[in-house]
Amino acid sequence: MASYNIKINGQTRSVEAGADTPMLWVLRDELDMKGTKFGCGIGQCGACTVHLNGNAVRSCQIPVSAVGENDITTIEGLSEKGDHPLQEAWKQHDVPQCGYCQAGQIMNAAALLNKNSNPSYQEIEDATHGNICRCGTYNKIKAAITTAAEQL
Amino acid sequence: MTIVKTQVNRRSFLKASALAGGGLMIGFSWACNPMEAERAAPKEWFDMNAFLSIADNGQVTIMSPNPEIGQNVKTSMPMIIAEELDIAWEDVIVKQAPLNSTTFQRQVAGGSQSIRQGWASLRMVGATTRQLMINTAAKEWGVDAAGLTTENGFVMNGRKKLSYGELASKAVGETIPEEVPLKDPKTFKIIGKSKTNVDMDDIVTGKPLFGVDYTADGMVYAAVMRPPAFGTKLKSFDDSEARKVNGVLDVITFDDNERPDQREIRGEKIAVIATNTWAAFKGKKALQAEWERSSRLESTTNHDRELNRLLNVSNSESLKRSDGDIKKAFAQADGTLERTYEAPFLPHNTLEPMNFFANVTEDKVLLAGPTQTPDWTQGRVAGLLKRERSTITCEMTRMGGGFGRRLYGDFALEAAAISDKIRKPVKVQFSREDDMMAGTYRPASKYKFRAAYKDGKITGYHLTGAGIQMGNATRENWFPAGGIENYKVESNNLNSNITTGAWRAPITNFLAIAEQSFFDELSKEMNVDAVQVRLDILERAKSNPVGSIDYEPEKMIGVIKLAAEKGNWSNPEAGVSKGFSCYYSHNTYVAEVADVTTENGQPKITKMTAAVDCGIVINPEAAINQIQGGVVDGIGHAMYGDFAFVDGAPQAANFDKFRLIRTKEAPKVDVHFVESLNDPTGLGEPSLPPAGGALANAIAGATGRRVYKIPFTKQDIAMG
């Protein structure tokens, strides 16, 4: 066990954890931030997507000891009032079914829009291919990202 | 206007009335609906019945009775109550009801039946409460209730009006009306208008909603080591390394078998108890366990042989239906066709892996988590722990998918057994590997179809099904029953020690693919249009059915014509191969047209057009979502679903080996509903069965190759 000071959503948080503990479980169990979801544990599904310095990463693959000074953003910190253009577009298109993958989908899409505020349909598909939605809401996810991009 | 007797739900009213005799205030303390920020916060809530409380400011809390697995019932069931109650949707706060079998009916997420079976009683709950408001207002004004109307949460008397909020405290003591009027569906204001998922804000901001998010004071986490193969049980284990893992509190064995014969085969399991999930997982990885054979070790190769044998077994037990004379039809035919189709086991792979919370104390048990069957689960836990049902509470969380897997309470039994042993609140958390390897799988099955035709018509039809623990693997009274003169359906069952169960659209999730692929190939053999072949059968079944049938040909014809029109069946776009399919299941009719194009020599599904008759559509945008999801799910598992066993052990354990459909592989799904005011039918499952068949038929058109086996990708059909 060691102590780590980690920058999450603009705040420095102190946690005690084993060096190999994935950020996913530090967020969920140590910091009680349940928005980042556990899906597969091997970086295949994208449910645990967070931002590391603005880039979409799989928090199940990042040990707490590797975070260092880098900034982490989670779904809880994407916007102050839950009104990021993607969150608004998700509401507009009534995207979720079960809703479990959606925080990861939104974080993944937010990283895309950070880099490319006007993505083509092809670029949206390429950027979101790594995030599984078991309910199959892909039509609505793509439509919502398109809508959000139009707002930027 | 329909007048209905209120008996069905009087129980829930009477109970609440008894409880709330003096105008009981119940303790809801949450903030008012964000849409209503300017309105005064509610000061008092009045319990009208088990479903409804009305606040003094007119806000209404509706308890949604059924488990929410993504099928949208937490939004759509309250919409039905709100409609008949005649309130503004913006005034509604929805809460998930806990299990309560004495006041709520059928608290199950299964068979696409929540809305269909809840429809009448939910309408009555709303209508009865509305009538209570009218009767209370009539007394206030000293007028006859018959002259009063309601509008958006007010009782109206000409220019005078009283809000439900003002009436609520007085309505609590009112007599429950014996009969209440229901609205004319043509006047519906909430039903038929899209309402956003009531959990939307929490979903998009990452609030705790799911079983995986559930916590309680003093809760510990458990990871469970189960036999690695069906037919093996625990022999011995060494936990010395596991106990060294930081955060591991204990390692125990436990017995969650409900019957002694299960215990003989499955033995005990090992649980690693820890202060957090990661420590529990890590501790489990550090366990050294030895397993011994306890029954047969089954492999897919053996299943294949057995199922092939069963496809040729014909006896009195296998016979499900026989009309006319099959032998004669084949003897006199212009031509015949015989084809066999096969599908493997499938895990459900809900994205939220199985988990459950239990807190077993001296005199009480609290269960909480994602379950499609809270009532059944409560009963099983009562049996396992030898407790009275009345001492067991079961709370339902939102579920990260169900698809049938969460019908089975194994995860809750594990949590209860562990908590009983350690006497602590505990959450059992499956890893993805646990989830995929300890499943209740869609059983493997095979179908053999034979058909005879003469003068452009199908004259004989013989289907034999063979499945693993599927019971009857066919639907002998559904299409094409009634439409073919000589008709025979048989089915044979193979037992197994692999746990199998319902997987979204049980049986029909593959039966439909096989059947609809066969009809397509048959139509080509007969040189008749694929849609016309189906319509000919349905016209016969409609006008002069052979024997009795359990579907309505007219409705199937309706969706077929709508899909053909919207999907440009008769005028395919240049370079597009069309595949047609239709299926009736869960009381709903769906027809689909798949568009497949060829890119770089590989077929690619670009679009699916779906026509659906599910009666009245409660929540249109969410209904579109269900249809799109079912189509994508159906295509994904037809293309990639591959799951085998070797010596009882599953051969895939995570998404690196088991391929789920991803966004680039999902076509655009264009959804059309038949306009209808009929009572609503199923929506969560019916669009799945036809999807794989439409795809297979379009692939055949694009490539000249037929697929007879799931997954399609195993037959060198590389998809773009």
- The minimal CB distance from A134 to the residues B197, B247, B351 is found for B351
Is the CB of residue A125 less than 8 Å away from at least one CB of chain B? yes
How confident is the model over B245-268, as a mean pLDDT? 96
Is the CB of residue B401 less than 8 Å away from at least one CB of chain A? yes
Question: How many other C-beta atoms lie within 10 A of the C-beta of residue B666?
Answer: 25
A122: nearest CA partner in chain B: B664
- The minimal CB distance from B208 to the residues A34, A40, A47 is found for A34
pLDDT score of B455 more than 60 = yes
pLDDT at B719: 58
Q: Whole-angstrom Cα distance, residue B257 to residue B358?
A: 17
Claim to verify: residue A123 and residue A63 sit in the same structural domain: no
Q: Do B215 and A139 touch (CB under 8 A)?
A: no
Residue A21's domain is classified under what CATH number? Answer: 3.10.20.30
Q: Do B278 and A37 touch (CB under 8 A)?
A: no
A139: nearest CA partner in chain B: B668
Q: For an interface test with B, which of A94, A106, A142 has the most B Cβ atoms less than 10 Å from its Cβ?
A: A94
pLDDT at B714: 86
Is the CB of residue B197 less than 8 Å away from at least one CB of chain A? yes
Is the CB of residue B204 less than 8 Å away from at least one CB of chain A? yes
Is the CB of residue B350 less than 8 Å away from at least one CB of chain A? yes
B309 Cβ contact list (under 8 Å, min separation 6): none
Q: Do A29 and B630 touch (CB under 8 A)?
A: no
Domain boundary residue among A45, A76, A107? A76
User: For residue B16, with 0-12 CB atoms within 10 Å meaning exposed, 13-18 middle and 19 or more buried, which class applies?
Assistant: buried
Q: Do B206 and A35 touch (CB under 8 A)?
A: yes
Is the CB of residue A130 less than 8 Å away from at least one CB of chain B? yes
Claim to verify: residue A19 and residue A70 sit in the same structural domain: yes
Q: Do B351 and A133 touch (CB under 8 A)?
A: yes
pLDDT tens-digit profile of B401-449? 999 999 999 999 999 999 999 999 999 999 999 999 999 999 999 999 9
Q: Do B207 and A35 touch (CB under 8 A)?
A: yes
Question: Nearest CA to CA, how far is A142 from chain B (Å)?
Answer: 9
How confident is the model over B651-655, as a mean pLDDT? 98
Is the CB of residue A91 less than 8 Å away from at least one CB of chain B? yes
Claim to verify: residue A8 and residue A55 sit in the same structural domain: yes
Is the CB of residue A82 less than 8 Å away from at least one CB of chain B? yes
pLDDT score of B8 more than 60 = no
Q: Do A99 and B203 touch (CB under 8 A)?
A: yes
Q: Do A41 and B662 touch (CB under 8 A)?
A: no
Domain boundary residue among A76, A95, A128? A76
B214: nearest CA partner in chain A: A34
Is the CB of residue B506 less than 8 Å away from at least one CB of chain A? no
Is the CB of residue B199 less than 8 Å away from at least one CB of chain A? yes
Q: Do A91 and B631 touch (CB under 8 A)?
A: no
pLDDT score of B32 more than 70 = no
Claim to verify: residue A21 and residue A42 sit in the same structural domain: yes
Is the CB of residue B599 less than 8 Å away from at least one CB of chain A? no
Question: Nearest CA to CA, how far is B37 from chain A (Å)?
Answer: 15
pLDDT tens-digit profile of B112-121? 898 998 999 9
**Is the Cα dihedral B40, B43, B47, B48 positive or negative?**
negative
Question: Nearest CA to CA, how far is B193 from chain A (Å)?
Answer: 13
Claim to verify: residue A39 and residue A68 sit in the same structural domain: yes
B202 Cβ contact list (under 8 Å, min separation 6): B209
ipTM beyond 0.90?
Answer: yes
Is the CB of residue A56 less than 8 Å away from at least one CB of chain B? no
Of B606, B598, B632, B631, the closest CA to residue B701 belongs to B598
- Residues of chain B with Cβ-Cβ distance to A101 below 8 Å are 351, 400
Q: Who wins on pLDDT, B75 or B17?
A: B75
Angle between helix axes B508-526 and B688-703 (nearest 10 degrees) is 40
How confident is the model over A32-61, as a mean pLDDT? 98
Domain boundary residue among A76, A100, A130? A76
B633: nearest CA partner in chain A: A136
Which residues, numbered 262 to 281 in chain B, qualify as contacts with chain A under a Cβ-Cβ cut-off of 8 Å? 276-279, 281
Of A103, A9, A120, A101, the closest CA to residue A54 belongs to A9
Of B102, B111, B89, B119, the closest CA to residue B49 belongs to B102
Q: Do A98 and B656 touch (CB under 8 A)?
A: no
A103 Cβ contact list (under 8 Å, min separation 6): A35, A36, A37, A47, A49, A75, B203, B204, B206
B203: nearest CA partner in chain A: A99
Claim to verify: residue A6 and residue A59 sit in the same structural domain: yes
Decide if B585 contacts B700 (C-beta within 8 A).
Answer: no
Q: Which residues lie across from B610 on neighbouring strands?
A: B592, B671
Is the CB of residue A141 less than 8 Å away from at least one CB of chain B? yes
Report the percent of chain A where pLDDT is more than 90.
99
- The minimal CB distance from A98 to the residues B194, B400, B431 is found for B400
Claim to verify: residue A11 and residue A31 sit in the same structural domain: yes
Length of chain A: 152
- The minimal CB distance from B70 to the residues A87, A98, A126 is found for A98
How confident is the model over A23-41, as a mean pLDDT? 98
pLDDT at B23: 29
User: How do B602-613 and B668-673 pair as beta strands?
Assistant: parallel
Claim to verify: residue A128 and residue A92 sit in the same structural domain: yes
pLDDT tens-digit profile of B88-111? 999 999 999 999 888 888 899 888
The number of folded domains in chain A is 2
Which residues, numbered 465 to 494 in chain B, qualify as contacts with chain A under a Cβ-Cβ cut-off of 8 Å? none
How confident is the model over B642-657, as a mean pLDDT? 98
pLDDT score of B31 more than 80 = no
- The minimal CB distance from A94 to the residues B194, B205, B349 is found for B194
pLDDT score of B40 more than 90 = no
How confident is the model over B129-158, as a mean pLDDT? 96
pLDDT score of A1 more than 90 = no
pLDDT at B282: 98
- Residues of chain A with Cβ-Cβ distance to B656 below 8 Å are 42, 44
- For tokens 């067991």, what's the residue? B392
B621: nearest CA partner in chain A: A94
Encoded tokens for B648 = 């009882």
Q: Do A42 and B654 touch (CB under 8 A)?
A: yes
Claim to verify: residue A100 and residue A36 sit in the same structural domain: no
Q: Which residues lie across from B588 on neighbouring strands?
A: B585
Count of alpha carbons within 13 angstroms of residue B285, beta-carbon side: 9
- Residues of chain A with Cβ-Cβ distance to B197 below 8 Å are 94, 96, 99
The mean predicted confidence, pLDDT, of chain A is: 97
Claim to verify: residue A67 and residue A6 sit in the same structural domain: yes
pLDDT tens-digit profile of B492-545? 999 999 999 999 999 999 999 999 999 999 999 999 999 999 999 999 999 999
The whole-angstrom distance between residue A5's C-alpha and the CA centroid of its chain comes to 20
Question: How many other C-beta atoms lie within 10 A of the C-beta of residue B244?
Answer: 10
Claim to verify: residue A29 and residue A71 sit in the same structural domain: yes
Q: Do A129 and B663 touch (CB under 8 A)?
A: yes
Is the CB of residue A59 less than 8 Å away from at least one CB of chain B? no
Q: How confident is the model at residue B6 (pLDDT cuts 50, 70, 90)?
A: low
Question: How many other C-beta atoms lie within 10 A of the C-beta of residue B251?
Answer: 22
Residue A109's domain is classified under what CATH number? Answer: 1.10.150.120
A74: nearest CA partner in chain B: B206
Q: Do A130 and B662 touch (CB under 8 A)?
A: yes
pLDDT tens-digit profile of A67-92? 999 999 999 999 999 999 999 999 99
pLDDT tens-digit profile of B299-350? 999 999 999 999 999 999 999 999 999 999 999 999 999 999 999 999 999 9
Is the CB of residue B185 less than 8 Å away from at least one CB of chain A? no
Is the CB of residue A1 less than 8 Å away from at least one CB of chain B? yes
Claim to verify: residue A102 and residue A143 sit in the same structural domain: yes
Is the CB of residue B626 less than 8 Å away from at least one CB of chain A? yes
pLDDT score of B462 more than 70 = yes
Helix, strand, or coil here: B714?
helix
pLDDT tens-digit profile of B9-25? 454 554 443 333 332 22
Of B512, B536, B511, B538, the closest CA to residue B523 belongs to B536
For residue A134, the enclosing domain spans: 85-151
**What pTM value is reported for the model?**
0.95
pLDDT tens-digit profile of B265-310? 999 999 999 999 999 999 999 999 999 999 999 999 999 999 999 9
- Residues of chain B with Cβ-Cβ distance to A35 below 8 Å are 205-207
- Going along chain B from its start, the domains and CATH numbers come out as 2-205 (3.30.365.10), 211-295+354-429 (3.30.365.10), 311-345+441-715 (3.30.365.10)
Is the CB of residue A44 less than 8 Å away from at least one CB of chain B? yes
Q: Do A98 and B352 touch (CB under 8 A)?
A: yes
The one-character DSSP state at B244 is H
Is the CB of residue A32 less than 8 Å away from at least one CB of chain B? yes
